[in-house]
Structure 1
Amino acid sequence: MIKIGFGGSCHWCTEAVFQSLHGVKEVLQGWVATHGDDFSEAVIVEFDENEIAFYDLVAVHLATHSCTSAHSMRRKYRSAVYVYNDEQAGYAQKAIGQLQAEYPEPIITQVLPMKEFKLNQPEYLNYYYSDPQKPFCENVVRPKLKILLERFGRMVNYIPFRA
């Protein structure tokens, strides 16, 4: 199994997106620090590379958050791929470079080393799949899952609705 981190939008959204994919074995949701106590929302994804490619995970990540927007909430929602080693950093940079052709604006997603991770409180883990009818889930998470179904349906394992 391989671990990689992703951040860019609400960690509840990001968690649900990656939990929905074939080959993803576990998603940990919380906060990542890159230096000091500068934490932003993120997930750690553990996946089987024989079932889903690293490149595909990066493609899904870019498509399901505002990867070209330097909006005012970027400190809390840093657009990033968090890597555990130089090899992963190279793969992530290459994938982002190749995927840039799909976006009219420059991708701002950073490739950063995984330094520290704080897991969210237990009652917030598995946020979407524990109750997909919550208003936040229906109004904020579900649109991201619809993008996932539309663009990456072949990779989707399960979503409790169909677009």
Structure 2
Amino acid sequence: MLEELPKIGFGGGCHWCTEAVFQSIKGVGEVKQGYISTEKEKETFFEGVLVYFDPGSISLQKLIEIHLQTHQSTSNHSMRSKYLSAVYTFDPVQYAKVLDILASSQGKFEEQIITTAHMFGNFKASRPEIRNYYKTDPERPFCKLYIEPKLKILEDKFQSFVR
């Protein structure tokens, strides 16, 4: 059952892009697209996704590695107030693991990773008509321009994890 799978939250770019990336990964049971807040700032929401995954099929480390490679994890651009580069955790043990994974991932990047770990606060689901954005019409101009390049990175760097 879905609720028995561990979950993790990701934010970094548009939630349509993030949703499409994680829906393409083996071992991911479900991706919920919406807006996520941190435990400390429960009223400030950022675009993101909740990812339910089977750790026997894909590790938390690999999910984070994919996340770091498929969004601008080293860019503190002007849209960060909407697109926080983050991993949202659900307990202190998971939080500590994410901190370790982020620290150990820095060596794979020339620039400083700005992605941060946060304890999860709240989640608001996107309205139904924009969920599964890529799956419902991959021919949209937005999908071609923004989502497909991220899926290409996924296929090039993480082929064995792509559905």
Aligned match for 1:46, one of 41, 45, 52: 52
Does structure 1 residue 139 correspond to structure 2 residue 160? no
Does structure 1 residue 128 correspond to structure 2 residue 121? no
Tell me what 1:29 maps to. Answer: 33
Tell me the secondary structure at the aligned position of residue 106 of structure 1. coil
Does structure 1 residue 13 correspond to structure 2 residue 17? yes
Identical pairs, percent: 47
For 1:111-122, list aligned pairs within 5 A. 111-122=117-128
Answer yes or no: is the 8 Å Cα contact 2:42–2:121 preserved in 1.
Answer: no
CA RMSD of the aligned region, Å?
0.7
Distance 1:75-1:17 versus aligned 2 partners, 3 A rule: same
Distance 1:74-1:95 versus aligned 2 partners, 3 A rule: same
Aligned match for 2:65, one of 59, 67, 71: 59
| Structure 1: gaps (5+ residues) | 158-163
Deviation at 1:99, TM superposition (A): 1.0
Tell me the secondary structure at the aligned position of residue 103 of structure 2. helix
Matches of 1:121 and 1:60, distance apart in 2:
26
Using the TM superposition, name which of 28-37 and 17-26 deviates more. 28-37
Matches of 1:2 and 1:24, distance apart in 2:
10
Matches of 2:144 and 2:64, distance apart in 1:
24
Using the TM superposition, name which of 82-91 and 31-40 deviates more. 31-40
| Segments of 4+ moved more than 2 angstroms | none
Tell me what 2:74 maps to. Answer: 68
Q: Which amino acid aligns with 1:3?
A: K
Instruction: Using structure 1 for the length normalisation, give the TM-score.
Output: 0.95
Deviation at 1:36, TM superposition (A): 4.1
Tell me what 1:101 maps to. Answer: 107
Tell me the secondary structure at the aligned position of residue 15 of structure 1. helix
| Structure 2: gaps (5+ residues) | none
